[in-house]
Amino acid sequence: MRVAISGASGLIGTALGGALQADGHEVVPLVRDGTGGRSGADRSGAIRWDPAGGTIDAAALEGTDAVVHLAGASIGSGRWTAARKRLIRDSRTQGTALIARTLAGLDQPPRVLVSGSGVNAYGDGGDTVLTEASPRGQGFLADVVEAWEAAAAPAADAGIRTVFSRNGVVLARRGGALTPMLRLFRLGLGGRLGSGRQWMSWISLPDEVAALRFLIERDDISGPVNVTAPEPVTNRDFTAALAHALHRPAVLPVPRLGPRLVLGEMADELLFVSLRVQPAVLQEAGFRFSHPDVATAFAAVLQDREGHDAEEELR
């Protein structure tokens, strides 16, 4: 296959691209650094685009088998000022709309667009089990997800199979949400957030990559898909599992007031939100998780290829 990936240099994009290339597929990254050569593509085949400016090399996308759209500003970098919230929203809706419009106008469009999304679509669900059939929730991120997914309408309207990968917290040894946790827990400074009763929906990076490849290949799947492990856990249990994996205590709970004072709205929607999400579509389609529970996930992501504990790298 020839697969175009936006956000190809990010945590998920790098892992996905590497896995596809290892199996002999051609990976074409979308780049914004202006290094494009003839027809906007550099020697490695990268496609030049400018989401904010609304430009992309459409010709380079002709004949692509699949497009995986992962680009978007980080939701966890910096306090959510009005400007930051605008960037979070625009970086998703503008890029998605540009790709969807462009693909819809191609003579040889891809057979599938897998567009990144998030489980924050459901808002704070408390103890309720949430599936793809659950209604949209409330909050800034729920609004962002709604607009983000709606921006892909031109591709779906043109008959391109469109899938929204609603991701949970991706667990990886390097990068993502786990990195700052590892440093705190190794120092014995880890602990639950608030009461620890809020549910966390997560997925290991290897399962994330496998799920995206599954969604590319399965012609019978479209629409929202929860890309999360089948066993969500409370923050209390997640904390205990991570501490156990690192052989460290986790006895210093983080009072809710502190993060709220520092991060404001961001703390409520990222740290204290409760999302008990089930990957119903993936499970019904027969997808098999390599790491269905946090214990197996931590055992996998905290070991490098030589079997060295990632904790040792942090010394």
Strand partners, 164: 115, 224
Q: Please count the other Cβ atoms lying within 10 Å of the Cβ belonging to residue 123.
A: 23
Q: How confident is the model at residue 133 (pLDDT cuts 50, 70, 90)?
A: very high
Whether the predicted model's global pTM rises above the 0.75 cut: yes
How is residue 251 annotated by DSSP? -
Single-letter residue type at 156 = A
pLDDT classification of 33: cutoffs 50, 70, 90: low
Sequence-ordered list of residues with C-beta below 8 angstroms from that of 294, at least 6 positions apart, any chain: 202, 229, 231, 233, 237, 238, 241, 242
Q: Reduced to 3 states, what is the DSSP secondary structure of residue 106?
A: coil
Dist. CA 94–CA 92, nearest whole Å: 6
Which tens digit of pLDDT belongs to each residue from 67-79? 999 999 999 888 8
Question: For 169-204, how does the pLDDT look when each residue is reduced to its tens digit (9 = 90+)?
Answer: 999 988 888 888 998 898 888 899 999 999 999 999
61-114 tens-digit pLDDT: 999 999 999 999 999 888 899 999 999 999 999 999 999 999 999 999 999 999
On average, the pLDDT of the chain sits at 91
Question: Angle 181-243-299 (CA atoms, 0-180°, nearest 5)?
Answer: 90
Alpha-helical runs (H) found in the chain:
11-22, 82-104, 140-150, 153-157, 178-186, 205-217, 235-246, 257-263, 265-270, 280-284, 294-301, 310-313
Inter-helix orientation angle 235-246/294-301, to 10°: 40
Residue type, 286: G
Mean local confidence (pLDDT), 223-234: 98
Catalogue the long-range contacts made by 214-220 (C-beta closer than 8 Å, 24 or more residues apart): 214/282, 214/285, 214/287, 215/112, 215/114, 215/163, 215/165, 216/1, 216/3, 216/66, 216/68, 216/112, 216/114, 218/285, 219/111, 219/112, 219/161, 220/285
Name the band, by pLDDT with cuts 50, 70 and 90, for residue 39.
very low
Section 5-19 average pLDDT: 96
Catalogue all structural domains in the chain, each as residue range(s) with its CATH number. 2-313 (3.40.50.720)
Contact status, residue 197 vs residue 236, Cβ threshold 8 Å:
yes
C-alpha span between 161 and 223 (Å, rounded)? 8
Query: What whole-number distance in Å separates Cα of residue 113 and Cα of residue 39?
Result: 22
**Residue 162 to residue 250: CA distance in whole angstroms:** 42
Asked if the model's pLDDT at residue 37 lies above 90, the reply is: no
